[in-house]
Copies of this chain bind each other. A is one copy, B any other.
Amino acid sequence: MAVGLKRKDLLGTRDLSPEEIGLILDTATSMKEIASRDIKKVPTLRGKTIINLFYEPSTRTRTSFEIAGKWMSADVINISTGSSSVVKGETLKDTGLTLQAMHPDVVVIRHAAAGAPQILAGLLKASVINAGDGAHEHPTQALLDLFTIREKRGTLSGLKAAIVGDILHSRVARSNIFAMRKMGMQVRVCGPATMLPRYMDRLGVEVFHRIEPAIADMDIIMMLRIQLERQGGGLFPTLREYSKLFGLNLDRLKAAKQDVLIMHPGPINRGVEISPEVADGPYSLILNQVENGVAVRMAVLYLLAGGQTTTN
């Protein structure tokens, strides 16, 4: 590969160039082929060490990074709170410096605090990948979303996407908005007023408070997970009310394009923000997103950890 990713870390999509996004997606295309092999193993990252540092619970993201690393023959070390010195109250700085001293090549971090990956990146010689920081960014999720759209439509530029739900608290929405805009897509957001940030227009995004007009004419509808634990926090009256106003079901889908793509970062709340018929329906890309997540994370790990070859 002649051109690499000229950066040490992947902290967000906000500061990625369209060329960098294109490089990651192109690399992921060749990575995806590996998952279909009978022997899912390449020596690309042999002798490289990846640390998964997860301060929040996760199945799909942690597992996705772990599989991505192992298929490329890297050593993968999982550290999760509850079984680590984190319980002893060590600061993020000291945890980071400690890990650095063990010579990892990549540290993948998920943290409840926005900005934690950036702090880590400033401390470490290792590459840092943000696997979700508070309500800030979750760049590999946006990249796998773009990969999935491009795979289906052949292009990104000119496509129109509506993101529906709790935009205010969603790192997935933010990373997608940045990435989609950079790739020439039009973006709408839709949700209760209490869940929409004020700066949306600055990002070149249209704001809707009702779902029907928001999803009309869209190529993609991306539903966000509603955080069940926010119920009672004053952001929305009840789950039932939220579902009635903003949930995506077959009836509501009639307002959308015939070939609209339905996306969701998961895990889904069936019957809340998305009905089972839609989630499991023919235009749902939810499982494609998960599948492509491994390929995109392989690409990102490969491009950052400086592997030498992707073949064999």
Contact = CB atoms under 8 A, between A and B. Distances in A.
A40 interface: yes
Task: Tell which of A66, A98, A268 has the most Cβ of chain B within 10 Å.
Answer: A98
Q: Interface range on chain A: under 10, 10 to 19, 20 to 34, or 35 or more?
A: 35 or more
Task: Tell which of A46, A86, A266, A270 has the most Cβ of chain B within 10 Å.
Answer: A266
A94 to B, nearest CB: 6
A265 to B, nearest CB: 11
Contact of A267 (B37, B49, B59, B98): B98
Contacts of A41: 46-47, 75
A231 B36 CA distance: 51
A103 B58 contact: no
B85 A83 contact: no
Contact of A47 (B39, B60, B86): B39
A287 B101 contact: yes
A145 to B, nearest CB: 14
A89 B59 contact: no
A30 interface: no
A119 interface: no
Contacts of A300: none
A311 interface: no
A67 interface: yes
B94 A79 contact: no
B228 A57 contact: no
A60 B98 contact: yes
Interface string A281-295: 000000110110110
A100 B46 CA distance: 25
A264 to B, nearest CB: 10
Contacts of A98: 59-60, 266-267, 287, 290
Given A39-B46, A63-B77, 17 more contacts: A40-B49, A41-B47, A51-B63, A57-B84, A59-B86, A59-B95, A66-B77, A67-B77, A70-B77, A82-B82, A85-B266, A85-B267, A91-B270, A95-B267, A98-B290, A101-B291, A102-B294
